[in-house]
Each structure stands twice: as C-alpha cells, then as structure tokens.
Amino acid sequence: MDIKQWGTPNPSWLIELLLYWEGHINSRALTDIFDVTRQTAGKWIKAYHTETGLTVDYQASSKAFHAPIFHTQRYISGAIDEYLDWRQLGLFPNRSAETRATDAQVVTRIMMPRRFVAPEVMRPLIQALDTRTAADANYLSISGSAAQERC
C-alpha cells in the first residue's frame, strides 16, 4: 500500500506531525480524524514506518507508538506554525494559506516567517497543554545573558 495515494488530507502527514511534535501517536488520533477502524489506523502507522524507515516502537503502557527525534521530515515542514495550525484550527496543509474557513469563522492570516523550534523543546509544553498542568521554563532575555526561570 502506497501511503502517498491515500488522498487529501494525507494520513501520513498527520502521523509524521504527531510523531515529530508530540513524540508519539496512537490509533485513536487517526480513527477520530479519518473515521476509520483501529485496524486501518494501525496499518497506516506500520505503512508509514515501512516507507520512511523511521523506527517506531509500540509501548503498551501508553498504548502508543513512540519515535526518536527526527533528522529529516518527509511530509511536514518542521515549522511549529504547521503543528499549531492543525492543533488550534484543525487545518491540513492542502488548504489555502491566505484564508481558511473554520466551523465558526473565517480566519485571514498574515503570513509570517516560518519559525523553527526543536521538538525536544516543544514536547513538554505540548504535554502540559494536554494535561492542563504548568510547565517550568528557563529562557534567555534579549537584554541580558543570565538564564531566568518562569512558571
């Protein structure tokens, strides 16, 4: 089965997006979005693994496939904007970048430069969003070189 022929939106794009930014994926994410069976979703994840060669390990404790840090992306850009567009607005990349319709409104975007953030930095923040918990962060200010901690 060639996952490039699945049509639009492409499940392999979502698989890679979630593995890259969240570090894991389970069949539930695909069954909810694409309205397919758990078995079909599992086949898509295995097909993605076969096609890309990316090692994905199933962990029974979390009931999810986990992936190491990516060195190359096949289906996603690696820009955080792409993940946030999907997460916040449910947008897939095949939609217009200028104006997109959501269920309740029309969103007009001013195209900003792509921002690239390491997934290792974003994964704990995404997990904190999912679990509605606080995240501790150290950052460097533009005006000073000393690290400052914020909660």
Query: Does pLDDT of 73 surpass 60?
Result: yes
Distance CA 128, CA 133 (A): 5
* The pLDDT value given to residue 127: 85
* The pLDDT value given to residue 124: 85
Main-chain dihedrals φ then ψ at residue 46, nearest 5 degrees:
-65, -40
Query: Are the beta carbons of 113 and 107 closer than 8 angstroms?
Result: no
75-113 per-position pLDDT tens digit = 888 888 888 888 887 777 753 333 333 333 444 555 666
Q: Which CA distances in Å does 2 have to 12, 27, 47, 48?
A: 10, 19, 8, 9
Query: Does pLDDT of 55 surpass 90?
Result: no
Q: Where are the domains of the chain?
A: 3-133
Query: Does pLDDT of 72 surpass 60?
Result: yes
Query: Does pLDDT of 70 surpass 50?
Result: yes
* The pLDDT value given to residue 118: 83
Residue of 74 and 3 predicted with greater confidence: 74
- Give the pTM: 0.63
Query: Does pLDDT of 14 surpass 50?
Result: yes
pLDDT range class, residue 30, cuts 50, 70, 90:
very high
111-120 per-position pLDDT tens digit = 666 677 888 8
The average pLDDT across 120-124 equals 84
